[in-house]
Structure 1
């Protein structure tokens, strides 16, 4: 899940030496079912998914990282990960000391078009490019934690329920109900119902709704019309999608559309 590092030097050789907190920016194509085994390192890390769907396990909690989102992992915390759907991703490794980000806990963030372009620019330019230092400063200014109402989806731990969860994360438009999933993982409907309730705190239907709404938000933020986003995450009728969205977030899908599309 990591490409060869685009190493940054300690100084940019501008008017005077400037110490960059960015050690490397790695871009890679994450492959389906690729795994990152549990490990830790002193350097904090930002992982951004541009087109992949990832899941990170950090400090005993599972974090979904769909396209358009990222995850901050503080230094020294054990973490692992898996690829649920292949695509492009970027990992930014920062110096163990002197990081401009003061986040002490794993933190989700969104990557809008401007922030995405800045990260792409930093990866592309030469290490001594004069735009590097101001671009880094703007990148850190634009990195903000997601609001409290952001949807966190808990992953079940049981292998049977987790297999279903990972497939639905990768394909939220999958229409199969629990009976079909029970056949798929060779378990009873009653067992799966109990597992989802016990390990996620939600019924299977409610849990799947959260996954679908979570997947729709970055589409809406990119300007995808409500009806198209609804179809992409498995809703045949936009009205059903709008109702589920409001129940889950307390807001309408239009809230997440760019202002020019509202």
Structure 2
């Protein structure tokens, strides 16, 4: 792990005590790594640039795919796991100086400009003259995800949980319920019952939510409807469009960049 620390006592051009940022850590997350349940007084921001992560905060599971992040308030117990290896960045903030006033766990998207600002803050020294402006721009660009963000409930029983985690890591996995039941060493009936009881959805409906949510950032980055659908497991665009409409009430084209609509 690489870290760029912002010590309170540093003799900097802009006193460190005026900055809300305590540290910027960059790490390579390895598949199947787990962070046990813990808490700390500092609020934390985690951004996944290429990894797929899942955070558990306040009894709720938050998927953090590449290009997204999660902010966790200080003092709240949380845990995490790596579903797919890749790069990630964690930023710790002074508890009394985080300027956005977010009181609950908050997910957000990281566009190329925000990503570059975060990388810049990792690279520079605490007394770099560009630091105040870079921090201000970072806070200006941090925006909670819009209301159409799809929350996916995760099961807790280890049998459906391992299936769920693998589908989050690879939404396009084509295995059906029978194959997943064999993988989880459970009967189809048991696995089906557990998904319904613990997520409120059938296995098929739950997987559809996962697939549609995974497709939205692909569309937003300019992938065609057909390409996004194939990437998340739909062979025919018509099937993808129908599933997308059931989950969001909109067509996939709604999420394409304006110049691609």
Instruction: Output aligned runs, 1:1-262, within 5 Å.
Output: 3-10=1-8, 13-14=12-13, 19-262=18-261
Gaps of 5+ in 1: none
Give me the CA root mean square deviation: 1.6
**SS of structure 1 residue aligned to 2:70:** strand
- 8 Å CA contact 1:37–1:80 kept in 2: the answer is yes
Q: How many residues align?
A: 260
Q: Distance in 1 between matches of 2:116 and 2:255?
A: 20
SS state at 2:18 partner: coil
Contact kept, 8 Å, 1:74 with 1:103, in 2: the verdict is yes
Match of 2:182, SS state, is helix
Mapped to 2, the partners of 1:16 and 1:89 lie a distance apart of: 27
Q: 8 Å contact 1:12–1:19 — kept in the other structure?
A: no
**What's the TM-score, normalizing by structure 1?**
0.95
- Give the conservation status (yes or no) of the 8 Å contact 1:12–1:18: no
TM-score by length of 2: 0.95
Task: Provide, for residues 207-255 of structure 1, a one-character-per-residue CA deviation record: whole Å limited to 9, x for no partner.
Answer: 0011111111121222222211111111111121111112111222222
Question: Are the counterparts in 2 of residues 68 and 110 from structure 1 also a CA contact under 8 Å?
Answer: yes
5+ residue gaps, structure 2, are none
SS for the counterpart of 1:5 is strand
Moved over 3 A (4+): 9-18
| 1:19-39 deviation digits (Å, cap 9, x = unpaired) | 110111111111000010111
Structure 2 distance, partners of 1:166, 1:17, is 40
